[in-house]
Chains A and B, each alone.
Chain A
Amino acid sequence: MEELNFSFQINGSEIKAKQGQSIFEAARDNNVYIPGICSSQPDLGVGVIQTCDTCFVQVNGELKRACATEAEPGMTVNSVSDLAKEAQLEAMSRILKNHELYCTVCDNNNGNCVVHNTAEYLELDHQKYEFTPKPYPPDTTHPFYRYEPDQCILCGQCVEACQDVQVSEVLSIDWERDQPRVIWDNDVPINESSCVSCGHCVTVCPCNALMEKSMLGEAGFLTGMAKNMLEPMIDVTKEVEPGYNEIFTISNIEATMREDRIKKSKTVCTYCGVGCSFEVWTKGRDILKVQPEKDAPVNGISTCVKGKFGWDFVNSEERLTKPLIRKGDTFYEATWDEALSLMAKKFSEIKENEGPEALGFISSSKCTNEENYLFQKLARSIFQTNNIDNCSRYCQTPASAGLMRTVGIGGDSGTIEDIKQAELIIVVGANPAESHPVLATRVKRAHKLNDQKLLVADLRRNELADRADLHIHPKPGTDLVWIAAVTKYILDQGWEAKQFLAERVNNITEFKQSIAKFTLDYAEKVTGLSKEMIIKVATMIHESDGTCVLWAMGVTQHLGGTDTSTAISNLLLVTGNYGRPGAGAFPLRGHNNVQGASDFGTMPNWLPGYEPVENDEVRGRYERAWGTSIPKQPGLNNHQIVEAITDGRVKGMYLFGEEMALVDSNINYVHEAFEKLDFFVVQDIFFSKTAQFADVVLPAAPSLEKEGTFTNTERRIQRFYQVLEPLGDCKPDWEIFRDFANKLGANWKYEHPSEIMAEAAKLAPIFSGVSYDRLEGWESQIWPVTPDGESTPLLYKEKFKFVDGKARLFPVDWTPPQQYSEEFDLHLNNGRLLEQFHEGNMTAKSDGINHIIPGPWLEVSEELAKERNLETGSLVRLTSPYGKAKVRVFVSTAVKGKELYMPMNATENERAVNKLTSSYYDKDTHTPNYKEAQVKMEMLEQKGESPIPKYNHRFGNPQPHIGVEVEKKWNRPDYTPIPETLRMEGYYGESDHAH
C-alpha cells in the first residue's frame, strides 16, 4: 500500500502526517502532546474508544475529537486555544466526577498514571462537578486483581483490551444502568466470570480502578496506612481543596521518591515460546507487579495469567539454596567446592574407565542461549562426547526436521506480524489459546476484527476451534493423510502456485507421483473426514491470499511426526506460501528457549547454528577456537541416552533445568533407568522429581536472578536483565558450568553472559551480528543476523537454505499410529493448559494459580460419561500397557466419543499422564509418541468434587461485542456533547471569544 504524506498546521506549526492518520496520531508522532486518556495505549488503537473526550481540539475553528478526526492536508488545528482548553477541562471535570484525586496515598502514583498526568497538564484547579461515589463495593474476589468502581472513570480501555486484544470477551460497561460500571460477563463477581486472568485490563487501566493486588498498600510510602487513618486524610484533602496544583506537587515528589525503592527490570517470560517481554517491579524481593510496555516487540501490552501473575515461585520456601550430596538414602547439604570436586572426580573416573561415550548431558530449553552454548562446550570440549540433547526432542524436533528437509531452516518462517496479516490461519494439533496465549490473541483479534479466516484441525473443540470458520476433527494420528489429500486436490485442480514452483522449488515430478495414492476416497476412509470437507479445506487455502500454518505437538508427537511436519511444508510450497508476508510455516515452540537451546548446539549432531558436527571444516573451526579436539561422530539423543543407561552403556549423566522424571514419556521406564546410573547430577531451582534420583543436586538461579538471552518461536533473540539477587547460595547455570569446567582445569574466564554470546557469534555464522549492545532494552534480533546486525524476520524472500537456493518437495508416506490390543479402548490425548506451566514445578508454587486450577483432570465426552455412568467429579483409574494413573473426571463438550484429554500439570506420580504413555517414538527424530496413548478406564468413585473449581473461567459466560460501545454512552439522557455544554455556557457558538 502506498502511503501518502502531507502536512497540516497544528498550534501554528506545520507537521507531517500519513494518509488515514488521525490528528491525535499525527500530533503524537510529531511530539505534539494532545491529552487523550482513552488513546493512551497504542495497542488498543486511537479513536476506537472515544469515551474520555479529553482530546477535543479546534479544527478550522470547530471543536472536534482529535482521536476520531482524520488529518487532512492544509487543515488548521489548535489544541491549546482557550476554547480547546475549555473543552478539555470540561472533559476532565466530568472524568473527575468519577474519580477521587488522592494521588499521594494512591498505589498508582508511580509517575505513569495517565489520569494524574492529564489533569496536571490541563492545569485543572478545582472540581467543577462534585465527585460522587458509585453504589457498588470494590470487587476483590479475584486472586490477583481488584476492581474499585468508585475510582473507575469509565474510559473502557479495559473493555477494549478484553474484547478486542485478548479477545476473551468478558468485560463490558453497562451503560444502561443509572450509574454505569464495568461488569464481568453478565454482571457476576470477577472470580465467577469467564475471566482468564490475563491481566490486560489491569495493565491498560489509566488509574487505580483496576489494580494488581500485589501493588495495594505496597507501592506508596503512605498507601499502607490503615483505613481509619487514610479516610480522614482523604477527607481533609478534599475539604481544604488547596487547588490541585499543590496536590500534584506533593504527589510528584512522592512519585519521584518511589523510584528509589521500586526497581523496574526488563525480563523475558519463561512460560512458553512466544517470548513476551515486560518489566518486573520489585521492592526488595517482593514482586509488586509485572508491567508490559508498548515497546515490547512481540507482545506489546499483552500477557497471559502465568506471565502477569505467575512468579511467586522465586520466593518459595522450597527453592534449593545449597548443593546437596547423596550419602546412603539421605541428601546432605554441602559447599560448592565439595559438590563440584566430587563431580569432577566421578565424571573423570567414568570418562577414564568407560570412555567419553559413557556420559550423557541433558540440557534445558528453559535456560539461556549462553548456558546452552556453554553446556555443549562442556560436553564436547572437556568430556569429548556429543551425547548432548535438550527437551526439544520431546516436542519440536520433528517440526524442525520437516522444515530442514523442505526449506532448509528449522524455525518459524516469519514472525507474529505475518500471523496477524495472513488471510487464512490453519492450526493443526495445537491449542495456542492455552499453550501460546498471547500469540493466540493476535489470531483471535484478526479473526474478530479483520476478517481473517481460521481453520482448526484438532481432536478437541478448543477455544480456537470454537471460534474457527471451520473445525475439522480427523481420526487421531491421520493428519498427514488429509494434508496430503488437500495438496493433491490443489494440484489436480491446477490451483498450485505454478510460477513459484517453477522458479523456486525442486522435485515436483517425484513429489506428484508420491501423493498419487492420497485420493479423496483414501483420505475419507483413513481420516474419517468427508470428501466435501477436504475439498472445503483446499478451497479455503486456494481462495486466501496468504496462509500461515501453525502446528505443535498434536502433529509432532507421533510415530510419523516428522513426516506430517514435512507434509505441511510441502503443502505450503505447492501453494506458494513461503517467502512472502502473511504466510508460512509456524511450528509453535512450547518453552521459552526450545528454539534457542537447539540453535546454540545442545544437540547430538549439530554444533551451534545447525552446522553438522561431522563436517570437518565446521568442527575444525570450533576445535581451533576452543583449543581442544571434538569427536566427529554424532552422539546420542535424549531417548537414546535413556536406552543406553538401561543397557549399561551410559553410566554418568548431567542434567539441568529439565523435569525428565515427569515429562518424558513412559516415566516408569525412565525412573528405572535413572536408578541404574552410577553418577547423576541434577541442577534445578527446585528439588524436582528428577532430583530425587540424583547423587549431586545443584541449586540454580531462575531467569529473574540472572542475565542472558532467550530465542522465541520467531527466532527472535531477546535479552533479559537481573531482577533479584540469587537466593541463598544458588548460582546462574552458566556460572556453575564455568566453575565446574575450571575444576577440571579448563580455565574459562567468562564474567558475564555477553562474553559467551560474543564467542558464539564469532563462531556460528547465523549469529554473526548478534551482540548484547544491539539487544539493549527492548531491542531484539531475529536470526540469521548479518555481521552488521541486520535481522531476518521473514525467511526465504529470495532463497531457500539449500546450496542452489531452491526448496525441495519431500515425498513422505503415512505411518499409522501405534496399535493397542482391544482392551485399551479409549484414546488418551494430553497436553498443556492455560494456567499452569508444564508439570507445574514453578506455577504450582503460586497460591493464586492453584486457587484457579489445583490439579489435573480427565476430560470425558458427554456420550462416554453417559455410557459409563460418570459425572464431573467421578474418580477413575486409567490403565495403559505402561502404567496407571488416578484422576477425577470433567465432563466436557470439547472432546468427542471415546477420546479423552488429560493435562500434564501434575507434580506427583499417581496423577501424571506420562505414567500412561509409551516409549515408542517418531521414526526420524526419536520424539516420543505422547499423542498415541490408549487406555482403559475404571470408575473408583462415582461422586466427588469437580477437579476444576466453580470459579474457573471454564464455567464463565462470555459476552462478546466489539469494544466499549460508546454510542450507548452518547445515547444516555444525561449525556451532553461537550461542544453543546460550552455553547450553553456561552464559551462557544455566536461569539468566538472564550470568556
Chain B
Amino acid sequence: MARAITHINRKESNVEEERANDLSEILKQIAENREAIESILVIVNELHKSGALDIVKSLLRTREKVGVLAMEQINQPAMHHMIKNVFGSVGLLSELDPDQLQALLDGLTKGIEKASQVDNEQNSKPLGLFSGLKTMKDPNIQASLKTMIHFLEGMGESFNSNQKR
C-alpha cells in the first residue's frame, strides 16, 4: 500500500555539498591553467600597486552615474564637433594617396630645414623687388610655386562644385 504523499525531505547538507562541489570544480580549473593564472596574478598585483585597480574599481561601481555624466558631456555641440572632426580627419587621411602625400611632406621637411638655416641677420634684411623677382628664376622656387598654384586650383574646384550643389 502506497498512498499519495507530497512531503519531500531534501538533504540539509545540500547547500554545503553544492558549494564544495563548486569549489573543487574551480580548483580543478585553476590547477589545469596554473601558468596563465600565475601571470594574471602578477599583472593584477602590478595594477594594484600602481593604483590603477582602485580607479577602475570606483569607475565600475559608479558606472551608471559616471556613464550618465559622461553622456551628458558627450552630448554637447562642442563634442559633436570634435567627434565629427575626428571622423572627418580620418576620412581625409584615408582618401589621400600616400605617395603624393609623402612627396609633399618631404618638401615640407626640406623647406623647414632650409628656413631654419637662415640666420637672423639675413632675415632682418628687407627683400627687394628685384632680388625677389630674381629668386623666382630659381628652379626650386619655381617648382614650389607651381605646386602651390595647382593646389589652389584644386581647392577652388572643390569650393565651386560644392556651391553649385
Provide the residues of chain A in CB contact with B4, threshold 8 Å: 661, 671, 674-675, 689, 692-693
Given A229-B64, A240-B84, A242-B83, A330 and B71 contact (CB-CB distance below 8 Å) = no
Given A229-B67, A333-B10, A326 and B87 contact (CB-CB distance below 8 Å) = no
Provide the residues of chain B in CB contact with A677, threshold 8 Å: 2
Given A329-B7, A330-B8, A331-B9, A246 and B87 contact (CB-CB distance below 8 Å) = yes
Let me know if A675 and B87 touch, CB within 8 A. no
Let me know if B80 and A329 touch, CB within 8 A. no
A-B pairs with lowest CB-CB distance, top 3: A692-B4, A232-B71, A242-B87
Let me know if A326 and B5 touch, CB within 8 A. yes
Given A232-B71, A232-B74, A246-B87, A692 and B80 contact (CB-CB distance below 8 Å) = no
Let me know if A329 and B9 touch, CB within 8 A. no
Let me know if A236 and B83 touch, CB within 8 A. yes
Let me know if B2 and A331 touch, CB within 8 A. no
B6 close to A (CB within 8 Å): yes
A502 close to B (CB within 8 Å): no
Given A229-B64, A332-B9, A694 and B2 contact (CB-CB distance below 8 Å) = yes
Given A232-B75, A242-B87, A693 and B9 contact (CB-CB distance below 8 Å) = no
B1-17 vs A, Cβ < 8 Å mask (1 yes, 0 no): 11111111111001000
Let me know if A236 and B80 touch, CB within 8 A. yes
Pairs A–B under 8 Å by Cβ, sample size 10: A226-B64, A232-B75, A326-B5, A330-B5, A331-B7, A333-B8, A671-B4, A687-B8, A693-B4, A694-B2
Whole-angstrom distance between the Cβ of A730 and the nearest chain B Cβ:
15
B72 close to A (CB within 8 Å): yes
A330 and B4 CA atoms in complex are apart in Å by: 10
Instruction: Tell me the chain B residues, 1-39 only, with Cβ under 8 Å from chain A.
Output: 1-11, 14
Let me know if B84 and A242 touch, CB within 8 A. yes
Instruction: Tell me the chain A residues, 307-322 only, with Cβ under 8 Å from chain B.
Output: 322
A239 close to B (CB within 8 Å): yes
Provide the residues of chain A in CB contact with B83, threshold 8 Å: 236, 240, 242
Let me know if B5 and A676 touch, CB within 8 A. no
Q: Which of A246, A324, A675 lies in contact with B1, CB distance below 8 A?
A: A675
Let me know if B8 and A324 touch, CB within 8 A. yes
Interface size on A, residues (CB 8 A): 35
Let me know if A233 and B3 touch, CB within 8 A. no
Let me know if B68 and A229 touch, CB within 8 A. yes
A695 close to B (CB within 8 Å): yes
Whole-angstrom distance between the Cβ of A622 and the nearest chain B Cβ:
34
Considering only CB atoms, which chain B residue lies closest to A909 in the complex? B4
Total A-B residue contacts, Cβ distance less than 8 Å:
78
Considering only CB atoms, which chain A residue lies closest to B6 in the complex? A692
Considering only CB atoms, which chain A residue lies closest to B14 in the complex? A333
- Which A residues lie at the B interface, using CB under 8 A? 225-226, 228-229, 232-233, 235-236, 239-243, 246, 322, 324, 326, 329-333, 661, 671, 674-677, 680, 687, 689, 692-695
B81-125 vs A, Cβ < 8 Å mask (1 yes, 0 no): 001100100000000000000000000000000000000000000
Whole-angstrom distance between the Cβ of B6 and the nearest chain A Cβ:
6
Whole-angstrom distance between the Cβ of B10 and the nearest chain A Cβ:
6
Provide the residues of chain B in CB contact with A689, threshold 8 Å: 4
A228 and B4 CA atoms in complex are apart in Å by: 55
A243 and B68 CA atoms in complex are apart in Å by: 25
Considering only CB atoms, which chain A residue lies closest to B84 in the complex? A240
Q: Which of A239, A332, A671, A675 lies in contact with B75, CB distance below 8 A?
A: A239
Given A236-B80, A236-B83, A228 and B68 contact (CB-CB distance below 8 Å) = yes
Given A228-B68, A235-B75, A329 and B84 contact (CB-CB distance below 8 Å) = no
Whole-angstrom distance between the Cβ of B4 and the nearest chain A Cβ:
4
A687 and B6 CA atoms in complex are apart in Å by: 9
For B2, B7, B68, B71, which residue has the most chain A Cβ atoms within 10 angstroms?
Answer: B2
Let me know if B72 and A329 touch, CB within 8 A. no
Considering only CB atoms, which chain B residue lies closest to A331 in the complex? B8
A330 and B10 CA atoms in complex are apart in Å by: 10
Provide the residues of chain A in CB contact with B84, threshold 8 Å: 240-242
Provide the residues of chain A in CB contact with B7, threshold 8 Å: 329-331
Starting from the known contacts A331-B9, A680-B2, A693-B4, 11 additional A-B residue pairs (CB-CB under 8 Å) come to A228-B68, A242-B84, A246-B87, A322-B10, A333-B14, A675-B1, A675-B4, A687-B6, A692-B4, A693-B2, A694-B2
A671 and B84 CA atoms in complex are apart in Å by: 76
Provide the residues of chain B in CB contact with A322, threshold 8 Å: 10-11
Let me know if A333 and B11 touch, CB within 8 A. yes
Provide the residues of chain B in CB contact with A330, threshold 8 Å: 5, 7-9
A59 and B72 CA atoms in complex are apart in Å by: 51
Given A239-B80, A240-B84, A242-B83, A232 and B2 contact (CB-CB distance below 8 Å) = no
Let me know if B71 and A675 touch, CB within 8 A. no
A331 and B10 CA atoms in complex are apart in Å by: 8
A687 and B74 CA atoms in complex are apart in Å by: 55
Whole-angstrom distance between the Cβ of B8 and the nearest chain A Cβ:
5
Considering only CB atoms, which chain B residue lies closest to A242 in the complex? B87
A689 and B4 CA atoms in complex are apart in Å by: 8
Let me know if A236 and B8 touch, CB within 8 A. no
A934 and B7 CA atoms in complex are apart in Å by: 36
Provide the residues of chain B in CB contact with A242, threshold 8 Å: 83-84, 87
Provide the residues of chain B in CB contact with A241, threshold 8 Å: 84
Whole-angstrom distance between the Cβ of A645 and the nearest chain B Cβ:
11
Provide the residues of chain B in CB contact with A694, threshold 8 Å: 2
Provide the residues of chain B in CB contact with A225, threshold 8 Å: 67
Provide the residues of chain B in CB contact with A246, threshold 8 Å: 87
Provide the residues of chain A in CB contact with B3, threshold 8 Å: 329, 675, 693
Given A331-B5, A695-B2, A240 and B75 contact (CB-CB distance below 8 Å) = no
A608 and B156 CA atoms in complex are apart in Å by: 86
Given A232-B71, A236-B74, A675 and B2 contact (CB-CB distance below 8 Å) = yes
Provide the residues of chain B in CB contact with A661, threshold 8 Å: 4
Considering only CB atoms, which chain A residue lies closest to B11 in the complex? A333
Let me know if A676 and B1 touch, CB within 8 A. yes
Provide the residues of chain A in CB contact with B9, threshold 8 Å: 330-333
Whole-angstrom distance between the Cβ of A303 and the nearest chain B Cβ:
35
Let me know if A232 and B8 touch, CB within 8 A. no
Let me know if A236 and B75 touch, CB within 8 A. yes
Provide the residues of chain A in CB contact with B68, threshold 8 Å: 228-229, 232
A324 and B7 CA atoms in complex are apart in Å by: 11
Provide the residues of chain B in CB contact with A687, threshold 8 Å: 6, 8
Provide the residues of chain A in CB contact with B8, threshold 8 Å: 324, 330-333, 687
A225 and B10 CA atoms in complex are apart in Å by: 39
